Amino acid sequence: MSEAIERDVIVVGSGAAALVSALRCAALGASVTILEKTGKIGGTSAMSGGMTWIPANRLMLEAGLQDSETEALDYIRATAPDGWAASEEPLWEAQVANGPRMLDFILENSAARFEIADVPDPHMALPGAKERGRLLAPTEVSGRELGAYFKHIRRSTIPQDLTYNESVIANMTRHPIRAYLRYSGTVVRRWLTRTRSKGNSLVIGLLRGCLAKGCGIELNARVAELLTDGNGSVVGVVAEVAGQPITYKARKGVVLATGGFEWDSELLDTHFPGNAEFLSSPSTNTGDGLKMAMRIGAATAHMNQANIMLQPPVYYEKMLHGLPLRIHAEPDAIFVDAEGRRFTSEYEFNIADWTVRDTERGSRLRRPAWLITHWPMVKRAWLIKWYMNNKPGWLITASSLDELATKTGLPATQLKQTVARFNDLAATGVDDDFHRGTASDYEMRLAASIGAMAPIQTAPFVAFEMRPSILGTKGGIRTNASGQAMRADGTLISGLYCAGNVMANPTGMRTPSQVGTTLGAYMTWGFIGANALLSNNR
């Protein structure tokens, strides 16, 4: 083995959580090396929309919008799964207190920039919810200053040339060609100047900060082992680089930010048996950091939690992935269970949670469940039509509801009765059965933008099975409120800190925001861990 490379801090991974942690450590005077398993920088963060949920942040307060830590904690407590407060309360408090500080820090020490997204907290009826300001969207950032690193920024399955707010204004999901025509000059200018938005923008901005602060980054450096001393403290890692093992010693500690475990088939089958259809993250998210930490005694928590959506299929790096679009919320689409009966408001925010898990309501659902619609919906949301051919049989079409029932295995009589009942309700505009479009503030806003109900009546009729797709697992290494890894007996593993999807997320699947609660939280935990790591003495 070659001579060891020694740094104050080794950061494993290159997503937003990793880059914030590296940036913070470097800003506090530490020498830092970032080790990235692949030849691409940014992980799941770079593939994302970059939305970032941070209560009481600088931008909202400057805009005259009121918020406080107390209100944010009230809201998180109200949205949390039952029983989680006993273990997660200290983490909620740390996350809420440090989120605004993290944002201030990256605004002052990196090129990452944000604007307020006009999106409310989805659970507006709960205490502490806010109409606007907590959800931030990255603005465009140029990658020219990255030099050769720019070509290594991980590309995405979603366009990264328009910002979130520009995409909303242009209605890009429904009219992408029209959107690009509207912003054609902007798009051309950004490509010529290596300027990107969304998740790419966030990663570019943070990486520019890291490089300016002197962080080193090694690509194609797969970390295979955590090194410990005689006291069980983590003192470094062993990485495989060009087929050779290289030891990286860490004088202060190691930050694991290696992503989730969704692409490890054994772990996925164990914690999500038979459920996942498509995965949306890089296929290298195989739980490396999780497994390394477990080998040295780290405890795990919330392993059955994930970011879940219903997604159409898309090819990415020659593999079938899920495209993270909310495709089911349309006025002329309904959900039915295996008996052909409608069972919920299709506009409900957390629909993917309980329809695919054995929660109290989910356990009563007769599976498989199906989305039922007709061809006008597919034509209107034409990205479904575009991507349906990536997986033959994913979208089922039929000339009649009888034929659709035969192809899906649904009882024809009940299916026709269900569709007829929904059409009758659509004619009145009032969902007397499940109050779609009026059950919550989130549903009312959705109904105001696209309509609440429209009849399903134009052949061909369409169905696809409601199987979940995973954007990223949210279970992982149990940490304390400083982001330090813990053993099952509650003792701390000196020198090991976790952030991102490798860490047990304290909010789980029932998220307090429509989007952004992973990136916002994970960057905050990267910041928290860096502060703790450099303040602790071995």
Domain 329-465 fold is: Flavocytochrome C3; Chain A, domain 1 (3.90.700)
Strand partners, 308: 470
Residue ranges of domains in the chain: 5-160+197-259+492-535, 329-465
Give the span between the Cα atoms of 254 and 245, in whole angstroms.
Answer: 18
Supply the DSSP symbol for 437: T
Q: Does residue 211 have a pLDDT over 70?
A: yes
Q: What is the mean pLDDT of the chain?
A: 92
Q: How confident is the model at residue 363 (pLDDT cuts 50, 70, 90)?
A: low
| pTM, entire model | 0.93
How many Cβ atoms sit within 10 Å of the Cβ of residue 427? 11
pLDDT tens digits for range 225-267: 999 999 999 999 999 998 899 999 999 999 999 999 999 999 9
CB 212 within 8 A of CB 22: no
Write down the pLDDT at residue 508.
79
Write down the pLDDT at residue 275.
67
CB 381 within 8 A of CB 454: no
Q: Give the residue-averaged pLDDT of 210-220.
A: 98
Q: Could you give the count of Cα atoms lying within 13 Å of 336 in the half-sphere of its Cβ?
A: 26
3-state secondary structure of 237: strand
Give the span between the Cα atoms of 426 and 412, in whole angstroms.
Answer: 21
pLDDT tens digits for range 304-362: 888 888 888 999 999 999 888 777 789 999 999 999 999 889 988 766 665 555 555 55
Q: Give the residue-averaged pLDDT of 436-453.
A: 88
Burial class (CB in 10 A: 0-12, 13-18, 19+), 282: buried
Q: Which residues contact 304 (CB under 8 A, 6 or more apart)?
A: 271, 272, 357, 475
Q: Does residue 220 have a pLDDT over 70?
A: yes
pLDDT tens digits for range 231-241: 999 999 999 99
Give the span between the Cα atoms of 76 and 378, in whole angstroms.
Answer: 36
Question: Which ranges constitute the DSSP H helices of 261-400?
Answer: 265-271, 288-295, 351-356, 375-380, 382-387
CB 507 within 8 A of CB 460: no
Write down the pLDDT at residue 277.
84
Q: Which long-range contacts (CB under 8 A, 24 or more apart) does 482-488 make?
A: 482/94, 482/528, 482/529, 482/531, 482/532, 483/525, 483/526, 483/528, 483/529, 483/532, 484/529, 484/532, 484/536, 485/256, 485/293, 485/298, 486/298, 486/299, 487/297, 487/298, 487/299, 488/297, 488/299
CATH superfamily of 5-160+197-259+492-535: FAD/NAD(P)-binding domain (3.50.50.60)
Q: What angle do CA 54, 308, 388 make, to 5 degrees?
A: 125
For residue 12, which of 214, 209, 236, 301 has the smallest C-alpha distance? 236
Report strand pairing: 5-12 vs 244-256: parallel
